[in-house]
């Protein structure tokens, strides 16, 4: 989802009344960033509080190549990394992930081995349908075991865009309940209880008076974009808008439950996204990054500036805006702080505790580093952003119609060759020029002043940087989701092919 | 000011807390349009409820040329037009205009001859400084007489951007009060009362229990952009942002006064702009039109989509969004409706009464017509916009560095020749594609469907259209502000040159 997809961030159709109300009752961060312009590195950063270059969610297979976590990937979140739910256990928290995990799908990376107590969702993106011969359909897990596969037990109609996954993610759906009445929901034995997703998890923790961490990682706005029938065709923005509306509706349901249970004042809620809206299918299924340049995959603002709202009635003042520059990695440190825990002291943590900003309006200077793979593409400090490299994608891909910046060419900026500006970075003033359209003149005193600060911040960062072992270098079709745990109970085990480790290829 | 200049419309620096609060307490119109992408035609439309092509605020001097009201213009608002303050008199309203009039500066067009009871401001834009030989500096009027000139009694420092005009527009300023104590404020005799602008006007009407209409037409975000010293350098967005912040602060003062006087529930307040932000000086002094294409001067959304907030505590529900497609011309009809008056029945009125939308959420289908001069460039109906002509400005101007769409080239759309698409209009879906980047395929059923509705709406419009006498065709340096009324008291009369009527030249 993109910065510009929320009404409160200026989406002209203004179809997110629940998120807009969340902002009116909470605090908005207009300067909030993902740690990477792509799903899985960004999520790994959120759960570790560390840049992907440190936690291993990057590739060295090619210069400045983004890499994600498809089902042929061999790597995943390293055992040495300390994840937020693992640490929260120390303060007695129950943790659940609903939705996409994306930190590795092989058994050793299972989220329930990494601190989560419950899981409903999938390890990879909901791409497909596959033929279960060349590649298996992606499994959907409940806790330790698979309960079905996308396009099979969990249908997504690519033609109509219909899927009821967002409904399942938030609550017991009529569809599931109906099947349970008629016989049994997919993957459950008769007599077992009904599916219990976000709302039920919250209810159960509340009943048990247990502190909880719910990581609600929905994927409806990720291609292929889907929505359930009641939302399909209801948006002014097309199918992508339908998906946004359904997510917005779910947010409303979650906040309502917290109010109904009278735990709103004891529950810290944060809404954000893992990367900017993908524009590649614009306008048919493209989101909005507001006034910012380009989208997902790129290190322009449209790729990494994210919507961000904190909601904590009675604690975080209502209707406020914080100009604190924030990052998804801050959610790690802030959540630990809320639980009275300190972040690990034996490693570099990039996340900042945002509570001083949220509670007392305190502002802390800090840089943003924009990576693609192992390459530092850009950095922001204060209002200034320097691009050391520019690249959207290759001419070869671009000529095939793959465009991360459709209709947004800025000469010398949205380049299709990897252009090295490290000797003379392109510098933008993000306050006057949020769209990164007007590089400062190299000869101006302002350029020199801005570059001085940025150069210092980058030097400090690079001098202390110890890159993690790159997890996204090796692929192997044998490690795909052929026979996930639980497949035997469902009769859905498939036979893997011969093991052939290969260097993953990352086109952009 | 542009659609994207308000925090509540997604300006990333979010520096308009008062306007954002106004929206939180009132109703936001994300689909609200000016009647023209330029100052004076748009203002003429606001005060007459009629398109400029009807009320005469256009030129036939060249195809698709915008025209405004400089001081050499001979024309002005025709005597036959019925202006909002003239009509409101029938219901006992006192009316004041603060700021730029722009409907003609010759004596017959004086706002106090057209229904206003008070005026503080100027007839033209605050361009200058001039030498008072080739052309006079623009006068500033209080009511019937000039009280000084820009760059003389009303300084604007072009280098620093300092001017205290927005302060004067809203309230008695320390500067004026000081001068009054020391001697007398410019243009006032000793013993006369102090300047009384927006706040004092409201206080006086309240004390007299008289209904009032305040037309607060500030111009701080119009080139040359200015702000008073307390605001200069305080915005993250540069000088333009300083001006926006000062206007925002003034809006807060006006709303506060209404609350303090306990007349908020009896006062209908509407905030909007006369055209999209000018991007010609971006990013140094350019505003933001959010996700929309181009800016002032153009008939793309960035030129005519406007911020719009209604505030009427206890009457218009708080925190709501109306998807009603609105226009500045609606303020004419709506204001009459509020006063219990019907619009004139002897002419076409383009404005709609928005009260049903505001009070009961009623939505009314209606088209938007986008003109440049006498040329219908585009039309919107529902989510679809058709461009019959595309043009930004000429190649000749563009090569001189004049750019109304800096950094925003969309091939075949932001053209520098006047391109005729009337046979096969470019059609955009503004919901999926608010930035007008992806014309629908001519072969698609959606295109044919959209065009059918649009063609019908345009045909109906054109069949009944009776263009007014064009007011912006003839210029004459002899009619400039050489000797405005009151000049003799100030010793500021200048001698006009010989009268030489000429065809005005409109470069774009
Ligand atoms: Ca993503
Ligand atoms: Ca204007």
Distance CA A416, CA A402 (A): 11
Ligand with the closest atom to the CA of B217: 2
Q: Please name the residue of chain B whose CA is at the shortest distance from the CA of residue A235.
A: B431
The pLDDT assigned to A196 comes to: 58
Residues of A with CB below 8 A from B11's CB? 10, 291
Domain boundaries, chain B: 69-267+479-508, 375-463
- DSSP three-state, residue A233: coil
| Structural domain A69-267+479-508, CATH architecture | 3-Layer(aba) Sandwich (3.40)
Q: Residue B36 corresponds to which tokens in the numbers above?
A: 């023209």
- Distance (Å) from the C-alpha of residue A391 to the closest C-alpha of chain B? 17
Q: Residues near A443 by Cβ (< 8 Å), separated by ≥ 6?
A: none
**Closest-CA distance of chain B to residue A184, Å:** 40
- Residue to mutate among B14, B385, B432, with most A CBs inside 10 A, is B432
Confidence bin at A184 (pLDDT 50/70/90): very low
Per-residue model confidence (pLDDT) at position B235: 98
Q: Has A31 been labeled as part of a binding site?
A: no
Chain B residues touching residue A241 (CB < 8 angstroms): 431-432
- Residue A194's pLDDT band, with cuts at 50, 70 and 90, is very low
Chain B positions in Cβ-Cβ contact with residue A441 (cut-off 8 Å): none
Chain B residue closest in CA terms to A13? B431
CA pair distance B111, B106, nearest whole angstrom: 10
pLDDT digits (tens, 9 = 90+) for A329-386: 999 999 999 999 999 999 999 999 999 999 999 999 999 999 999 999 999 999 999 9
Q: Which of B10, B237, B292 sits opposite A432 (nearest CB)?
A: B237
Q: Nearest C-alpha of chain A: how many angstroms from B435? A: 9
**Separation of CA B59 and ligand 1 centre (Å):** 51
How many Å apart are CA B142 and CA B150, to the nearest integer?
Answer: 13
Q: pLDDT value at position A197?
A: 85
Residue written as tokens 């009459």?
Answer: B336
Q: Cβ–Cβ of B431/A241 closer than 8 Å?
A: yes
Ligand nearest to the CA of B40: 2
Report pLDDT for A195.
47
Please give the pLDDT value at position B171. Answer: 78
Asked if residue B224 has a cis previous peptide bond (ω within 30° of 0), the answer is yes
* Burial (CB count within 10 angstroms: exposed 0-12, middle 13-18, buried 19+), residue B84: buried
Query: A66: annotated binding-site residue?
Result: no
Tell me which chain B residues have a C-beta less than 8 angstroms from the C-beta of A286.
432
Give B24 to chain A, closest Cα distance, Å. Answer: 8
Q: What is the whole-number distance in angstroms between the Cα of residue A115 and the centre of ligand 1? A: 22
Instruction: Tell me the catalytic residues of B.
Output: 39, 102
> What percent of chain B lies above the pLDDT cut of 90?
93
Identify the H or E element spanning B47: helix B39-48
Alpha-carbon distances of A427 from A114, A306, A440, rounded to whole Å:
40, 21, 6
Q: Distance, CA A259 to ligand 2 centroid (Å)?
A: 46
Residues B21-43: pLDDT tens digits? 999 999 999 999 999 999 999 99
Mean of pLDDT over chain A: 94
B283·A8 Cβ contact <8 A: no
ipTM: 0.93
Nearest CA in chain A to B8: A8
For residue B81, the model assigns a pLDDT of: 98
What's the A304 CA to ligand 1 centre distance in angstroms? Answer: 11
Position A52 pLDDT exceeds 50:
yes
Residues of B in contact with A410 (CB under 8 A): 407
> Is the pLDDT reported for residue A178 higher than 60?
no
How far is the centre of ligand 2, averaged over its atoms, from the C-alpha of B2 (Å)? Answer: 10
Residues of A in contact with B431 (CB under 8 A): 12-13, 235-238, 241
Check B9 against A14: CB less than 8 A apart. no
Name the band, by pLDDT with cuts 50, 70 and 90, for residue A183.
very low
Q: Do A290 and B291 touch (CB under 8 A)?
A: yes
For A250-299, write each residue's pLDDT tens digit.
999 999 999 999 999 999 999 999 999 999 999 988 899 999 999 999 99
Tokens standing for residue A169? 């993610």
Q: How far is B148 from chain A (nearest CA, A)?
A: 34
Instruction: Tell me the pLDDT band of B199, cut-offs 50, 70 and 90.
Output: very high
Fold type of domain A375-463: Arylsulfatase, C-terminal domain (3.30.1120)
A219 is in an annotated binding site: no
The model's pLDDT over B401-451, given as tens digits with 9 standing for 90+, comes to 999 999 999 999 999 999 999 999 999 999 999 999 999 999 999 999 999
Alpha helices by DSSP H, listed for B189-328, are 198-207, 239-260, 301-304
- Can you read off the two tokens belonging to residue A254? 């979650």
Q: Check: pTM over 0.90? Answer yes or no.
A: yes
User: At B196, is the pLDDT very low, low, confident or very high (cuts 50, 70, 90)?
Assistant: low
Helix (H, G, I), strand (E, B) or coil at B233: coil
The reply to whether residue B290 touches residue A288, judged by beta carbons under 8 angstroms, is: no
Q: What is the structure's pLDDT at B193?
A: 39
- Indicate the length of chain B as a whole number: 508
Q: Residue A371: what pLDDT?
A: 98
| 8 A C-beta contact, residue A98 and residue A214 | yes
Q: Whole-angstrom Cα distance, residue B254 to residue B414?
A: 39
Q: What is the dihedral of CA B350, B355, B361, B365, to 10 degrees?
A: -10
Question: Which ligand is the nearest neighbour of the Cα of B100?
Answer: 2
* Cβ distance of B4 and A238 shorter than 8 Å: no
Burial of residue B464, with CB atoms counted within 10 A of its CB: 0-12 exposed, 13-18 middle, 19 or more buried: exposed
Contact A321 B17 (CB under 8 A): yes
Residues of A in contact with B241 (CB under 8 A): 431-432
**Measured between CB atoms, which of A284, A408, A434 is closest to B12?**
A434
Q: Do B290 and A290 touch (CB under 8 A)?
A: yes
Q: Give residue A329 CA to ligand 1 midpoint distance, Å.
A: 15
Q: Which-ligand-closest: CA of A2?
A: 1
CB contact under 8 A, B433 and A409: no
DSSP structure string for B181-218: HHS--TT--TTSPPP--HHHHHHHHHHTT--EEEEEE-
Rounded (5°) CA angle A44-A419-A430: 65
Mean pLDDT calculated for residue range B88-92: 97
pLDDT digits 0-9 by tens, A32-42: 999 999 999 99
Min Cα separation B100/chain A (Å): 26
Best A12, A161, A238 member to test B by mutation, with max B CBs in 10 Å, is: A12
Asked whether the beta carbons of A188 and A117 are under 8 A apart, the reply is no
* Residue B4 in this model has a pLDDT that exceeds 50: yes
Residue B116 has pLDDT above 50, yes or no: yes
Q: Strands, DSSP E only, in B300-340?
A: 308-311, 320-321, 326-327
| Interchain proximity B236–A383, CB inside 8 Å | yes
């Amino acid at each position: 989802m993109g910065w510009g997809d929320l009404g409160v961030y200026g989406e002209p159709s203004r179809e997110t009344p629940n998120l807009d109300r969340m902002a009116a009752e909470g605090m908005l961060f207009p300067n909030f960033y993902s740690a990477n312009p792509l799903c899985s590195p960004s999520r790994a950063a959120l759960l570790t509080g560390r840049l992907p270059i440190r936690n291993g969610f990057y590739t060295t297979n090619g210069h400045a190549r983004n890499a994600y976590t498809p089902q042929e990937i061999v790597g995943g979140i390293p055992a040495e990394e300390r994840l937020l739910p693992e640490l929260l256990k120390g303060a007695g928290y129950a943790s659940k992930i609903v939705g996409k995990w994306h930190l590795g799908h092989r058994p050793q990376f299972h989220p329930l081995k990494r601190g989560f107590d419950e899981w409903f969702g999938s390890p990879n993106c909901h791409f497909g349908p596959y033929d279960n011969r060349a590649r298996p359909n992606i499994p959907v897990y409940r806790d330790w075991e698979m309960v079905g596969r996308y396009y099979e037990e969990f249908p997504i109609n690519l033609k109509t865009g219909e899927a009821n996954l967002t409904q399942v993610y938030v609550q017991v759906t009529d569809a599931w309940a109906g099947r349970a009445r008629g016989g049994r929901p997919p993957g459950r034995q008769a007599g077992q209880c009904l599916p219990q997703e976000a709302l039920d998890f919250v209810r159960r923790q509340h009943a048990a008076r247990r502190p909880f961490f719910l990581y609600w990682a929905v994927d409806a706005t990720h291609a292929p974009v889907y929505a359930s029938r009641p939302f399909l065709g209801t948006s002014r923005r097309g199918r992508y808008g339908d998906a946004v509306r359904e997510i917005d509706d779910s947010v409303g349901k979650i906040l309502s439950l917290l109010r109904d249970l009278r735990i709103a004042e004891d529950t810290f809620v944060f809404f954000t996204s893992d990367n900017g809206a993908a524009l590649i299918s614009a306008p048919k299924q493209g989101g909005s990054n507001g006034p910012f340049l380009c989208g997902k995959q790129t290190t322009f603002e449209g790729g990494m500036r994210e919507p961000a709202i904190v909601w904590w009635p009675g604690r975080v003042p209502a209707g406020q805006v914080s100009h604190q520059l924030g990052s998804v990695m801050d959610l790690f440190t802030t959540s630990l702080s809320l639980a009275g825990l300190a972040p690990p002291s034996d490693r570099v943590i990039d996340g900042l505790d945002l509570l001083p900003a949220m509670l007392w309006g305190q502002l802390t200077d800090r840089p943003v580093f924009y990576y693609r793979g192992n390459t530092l593409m850009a950095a922001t400090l204060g209002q200034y952003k320097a691009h050391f490299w520019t690249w959207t994608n290759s001419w070869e891909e671009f000529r095939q119609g793959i465009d991360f910046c459709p209709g947004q060419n800025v000469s010398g900026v949205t380049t299709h060759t990897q252009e090295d500006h490290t000797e003379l970075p392109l510098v933008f003033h993000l306050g006057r020029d949020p769209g990164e359209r007007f590089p400062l003149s190299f000869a101006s005193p302002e350029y020199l002043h801005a570059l001085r600060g940025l150069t210092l911040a980058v030097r400090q960062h690079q001098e202390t940087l110890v890159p993690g072992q790159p997890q996204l270098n090796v692929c192997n079709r044998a490690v795909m989701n052929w026979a996930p745990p639980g497949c035997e109970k469902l009769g859905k085990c498939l036979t893997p092919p011969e093991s052939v480790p290969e260097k993953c290829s990352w086109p952009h």
